[in-house]
Amino acid sequence: MKNVHAFGDDALGDRDAVGIAAAIASGEISAAEAAEAAIARIDAVNPHLNAVAFDDRERARKRAVENDFPLGSFIGVPSIIKNNTEFAGLPTRHGSAAVPAHPAQANEAFTNQFLASGVNVVGASTMPAFGLTSTTEFVDREPTRNPWDTDYSSGGSSGGSAALVAAGALPIAHANDGGGSIRIPAAMCGLVGLKPSRGRVEPSKEGRDAPIDLISNGIVSRSVRDTAHFLADTQGFHPAPDLPPVGLVEGPGTTRLRIALITEPLTGGLLDRDTQRCVTAAAELVESLGHRTEMVPPPVDRAYVQQFVDYWSLLAFALDRFGKRVIDKGFDRSQLDPFTRGLSRNCVRHFYRMPGSIRGLRRSTAAFRALHDRFDVILTPTVVHATPELGYLDPALDFDEAMDRLIRFIAFTPANNTAGTPAISLPLGQSTSGMPIGVHFAADLGNERTLLELAFELEAAQPFARIQDGAGG
C-alpha cells in the first residue's frame, strides 16, 4: 500500500475545520499560521497526489495576514475551490485542455456563498474533464491519486478536493455533484460527502438553465459537524426560499427512523463482497440504535439507466457544439478528451430518444420520492464495488467499455440528482485491504436535517477510520 498523508504536529494538527476556526478565534493559532501549515502540507503530498489544478497561495497568505474574512463558521480556515466554479483571478478550466487559462473576472454566485463561511481559498482542485466521469484521470497529464493508496482512484468528479482533505492537507474542500461527484469521491477517500437538495445552495452556472438541473454544490469533510456548519452558513448567507430551513444541526436527533434498505443495483448484478458486508453492517448498526430497516427493491425501473445516460450525453453534446458560448469564447473542441467526445456522439446517435428520456427522468422523480411516503431515509451503498485501481475508468478507454464500467459502478447515486433530493455518503466501512467504503443515506427534498442528525449518531456510534492511524497503509 502506498499511503500518503500530511497529518503532524503543526498549526492544523488533526483538527477539523470547526476546530481550526476555534483555535484561530481563541488566539491559539493565527490565520496566517493555519495558511502556512496548509501550504506546507499541500507541498508535502501534492507531488504524490496531483490534486491541485491552480495554486493561489500568495493571495491566501495576504488574506490571512490581513485577516480579511467574512464572519462565518470557518474564519481563516484554509480550503480550496473545485476548478469548475469561478473564483475571481483564477482560470476555470473544468479539467479540460479545451478550455483556455483565462482568469475569471468575477466570482459566480455559489463562490460568494462558499466564501461567506470564512474560508481562505489557497487554490483550485483537480477534476476530470467537465466532471463527466467518476475518476479524476486525464489523457494529457498524470491522474489524481487516492491518498489511502496511490495506485487507486480518488473518485470524481471532486477527486482533487477529496484527495487533499483525506490526506490532511486541508480540513474541508469545495465539491459539487451532478451524478454522485461529492458522494463518490467521499466514499473512495473515507470522507463525509453531503449532496444538498436542489435549490438549497446557489446553483452552478452550468446547471441553472438545463432542462433538469442535476448539480448541487457542497463540500467534502472529515467530520459531520464541518458539513453541518457549512450548510448552516450557506443558509445564513442566502436561505433557500422554497425549502424548509435546516438551521445548525449539532448532534443526533431523537426520532427513530423508518429506513428503506436497497442493495440491488439498477444495472443488475451484485455488490462485491466487501461492499455487501459493509452495507449489511451499517443496516445492523442503525437497527442497534433503534431505527427500523426494511429491504425494498429499487423504486425506479432499469429504463432509468438509459434515460440518465442519454441526458448525460446531452450535456456533453452541448459542451462539444456550443463550448464557445457556454464555457469560454476561446474553447477549442479539438482538445476534448475521448470520453467527452464519445458522450457527444452518443447523444447524436440517440437524439431521437431525448424528449422521451427527459420525460422518463421526470417520471422517475415521482416514483423515487414516493418511497418517502413510507420511509424517512433510504440506505444503499454509495457505489457498487470497492474503489478501483487507476486505469479502470480511464477516459481514454474504448467509449462503450468505459461507459459500461462507469454506469455499473455508480448505479446508486444519480437518482438523487434527477430527483433533487439530498443524500450523504459516510465512511462507515473498509475493504479487507483497508480502503474506505462509503455507505449512502438519502432523504426527501429539503430534509437535510434528518440526514445530518443520523450522520452525527452514526459517527458517534462508529467513529470513522483515520488515514493517519495506518488503516490502508
pLDDT classification of 208: cutoffs 50, 70, 90? confident
The set of cell numbers assigned to 126 is 483537480
Are 387 and 154 spatial neighbours (Cβ–Cβ below 8 Å)?
no
pLDDT of residue 1: 52
Q: pLDDT tens, 390-423?
A: 999 999 999 999 999 999 999 999 999 999 999 9
Catalytic residue among 82, 153, 216, 223: 82
Q: pLDDT tens, 418-463?
A: 999 999 999 999 999 999 999 999 999 999 999 999 999 999 999 9
158 CB neighbour count, 10 Å cutoff: 36
pLDDT classification of 207: cutoffs 50, 70, 90? confident
Sign of CA dihedral 169, 170, 173, 179: positive
Q: Provide the phi-psi class of 231: left if phi over 0, else alpha when psi is between -120 and 50, else beta.
A: alpha
For 101-189, where are the alpha helices, taking DSSP H only?
109-115, 159-166, 183-189
362 CB neighbour count, 10 Å cutoff: 14
Catalytic residue among 134, 161, 181, 223: 181
Active site residue 157: yes
Active site residue 2: no
pLDDT of 47 strictly over 50? yes
Show the 3-state SS of 389-433.
Answer: ECCCCCCCCCHHHHHHHHHHHCCCCHHHHHHCCCEEEEEEEECCC
Among all chains, which residue has been given the C-alpha cell 460527502? 193
Give the domains, in start order, of the chain with CATH numbers: 17-461 (3.90.1300.10)
The set of cell numbers assigned to 202 is 446557489
DSSP 3-state of 256? coil
Active site residue 82: yes
Angle between the N-to-C axes of helices 273-288 and 448-461, in degrees from 0 to 180, rounded to the nearest 10: 100
pLDDT of residue 471: 43
145-157 mean pLDDT: 98
Q: Provide the phi-psi class of 465: left if phi over 0, else alpha when psi is between -120 and 50, else beta.
A: beta
Are 153 and 395 spatial neighbours (Cβ–Cβ below 8 Å)?
no
Are 49 and 163 spatial neighbours (Cβ–Cβ below 8 Å)?
yes
This prediction has a pTM of: 0.98
pLDDT of residue 68: 85
Catalytic residue among 79, 96, 153, 157: 157
pLDDT of 473 strictly over 70? no
pLDDT of residue 209: 83
Are 68 and 24 spatial neighbours (Cβ–Cβ below 8 Å)?
no
Q: pLDDT tens, 56-91?
A: 999 999 999 999 899 999 999 999 999 999 999 999
Q: pLDDT tens, 267-297?
A: 988 999 999 999 999 999 999 999 999 999 9
Average pLDDT in the chain: 97
CA distance 335 to 348: 19
395 CB neighbour count, 10 Å cutoff: 24
For 15, 133, 277, 458, the CA distances from 470, given in Å and listed in that order, are 17, 29, 21, 22
pLDDT classification of 470: cutoffs 50, 70, 90? low
DSSP 386: S
